[in-house]
C-alpha cells in the first residue's frame, strides 16, 4: 500500500547497511569484506547507544558517524602493509575507532584499546559485547598520565594507530617505546594539514593514502604510515 503524500514527505532516508558501507569503502580505495562491514556497523550502533549515557563522540547522527568514524577508519584497508598486523594498539581510542575497524579488517589481530578515561573504556567494552565481538581479541587499558603509555608495553606492538589525538610529532615520542622493530605508526590527519616526513626516533613516512570522505561529512583526509628506515 502506498504511503499518503504527507507521510512520504516525512519519510526518513534508509540507513547505510553493510553493502553500502562496502561500496563507500571501495570508493576511497579500501578493499573490505562484507562481513567486516557488518561487524563494524553493529559496533557503531552499539557505540552510539552507549553515547547516550557516556560522552564518546560529538557525532550523534548515525549517517555522519558511519562516514566520520567507520568509513574513515576503514582507510586502514587501503594498503601499505607487507604483513598483516597481529599486535595492535589504538592509542587514545576515545570511542573504539579506529581499533575496532582494524580488528574487522585484520581478523587475526589482537587489539589493545588505550585511553585515559576509564568510563569510556567501560562503555567500549559494553558496546563490543553488545555487538557480538570476541572479548579475547581486545584488551582495554587505561593510560596513566604519570607513568606514560609505555609502562610495561615496551616493543610489544607491530602496529600503533592514532586518530583525532594529536599531530604525528606529538604522538611519536609516546608510540616509539612500544613499537616492535618493524612496526608501523598510523596517523590520521586532515588533508589540508602539512605531513611531517620524518619524526623523532628515526621514524620516517613509509606510505600515505589520500581520500575524500563523502557527504554528509565531506572532507579530505590522509592516512600516513611511519616506520623505521
Read off the CATH number of the domain in which 101 is found: 3.40.50.150
Q: What is the pLDDT of residue 13?
A: 56
Grid coordinates belonging to 25: 569503502
3 within some domain: no
127 within some domain: yes
Q: What is the pLDDT of residue 9?
A: 42
30 within some domain: yes
Domain count, the chain: 1
7 within some domain: no
| Angle between the N-to-C axes of helices 34-50 and 18-27, in degrees from 0 to 180, rounded to the nearest 10 | 110
pTM, whole model, 2 decimals?
A: 0.91
Q: What is the pLDDT of residue 229?
A: 66
Range of the domain at 143: 17-228
Q: What is the pLDDT of residue 151?
A: 66
Residues of the chain with pLDDT under 70: 1-14, 145-151, 229
2 within some domain: no
6 within some domain: no
Amino acid at each position: 500500500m502506498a504511503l499518503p503524500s504527507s507521510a512520504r514527505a516525512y519519510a526518513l532516508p534508509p540507513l547505510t547497511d553493510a553493502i553500502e558501507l562496502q561500496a563507500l569503502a571501495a570508493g576511497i580505495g579500501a578493499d573490505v569484506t562484507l562481513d567486516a562491514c557488518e561487524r563494524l556497523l553493529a559496533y557503531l550502533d552499539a557505540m552510539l547507544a552507549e553515547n547516550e549515557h557516556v560522552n564518546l563522540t560529538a557525532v550523534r547522527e548515525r549517517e555522519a558517524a558511519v562516514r566520520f568514524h567507520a568509513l574513515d577508519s576503514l582507510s586502514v584497508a587501503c594498503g601499505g602493509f607487507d604483513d598483516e598486523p597481529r599486535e595492535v594498539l589504538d592509542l587514545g581510542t576515545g570511542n573504539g575507532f579506529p581499533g575496532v575497524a582494524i580488528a574487522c579488517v585484520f581478523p587475526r589481530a589482537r587489539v589493545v584499546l588505550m585511553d585515559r578515561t576509564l568510563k569510556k573504556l567501560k562503555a567500549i567494552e559494553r558496546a563490543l559485547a553488545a555487538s557480538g565481538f570476541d572479548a579475547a581479541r581486545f584488551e582495554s587499558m587505561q593510560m596513566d598520565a604519570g607513568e606514560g603509555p609505555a609502562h610495561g608495553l615496551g616493543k610489544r606492538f607491530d602496529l600503533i594507530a592514532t586518530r583525532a589525538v594529536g599531530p604525528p610529532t606529538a604522538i611519536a615520542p609516546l608510540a616509539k617505546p612500544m613499537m616492535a622493530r618493524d612496526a608501523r605508526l598510523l596517523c590520521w590527519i586532515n588533508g589540508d594539514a602539512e605531513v611531517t616526513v620524518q619524526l623523532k626516533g628515526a621514524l620516517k613516512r613509509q606510505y600515505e593514502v589520500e581520500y575524500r570522505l563523502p557527504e554528509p561529512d565531506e572532507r579530505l583526509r590522509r592516512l600516513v604510515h611511519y616506520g623505521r628506515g
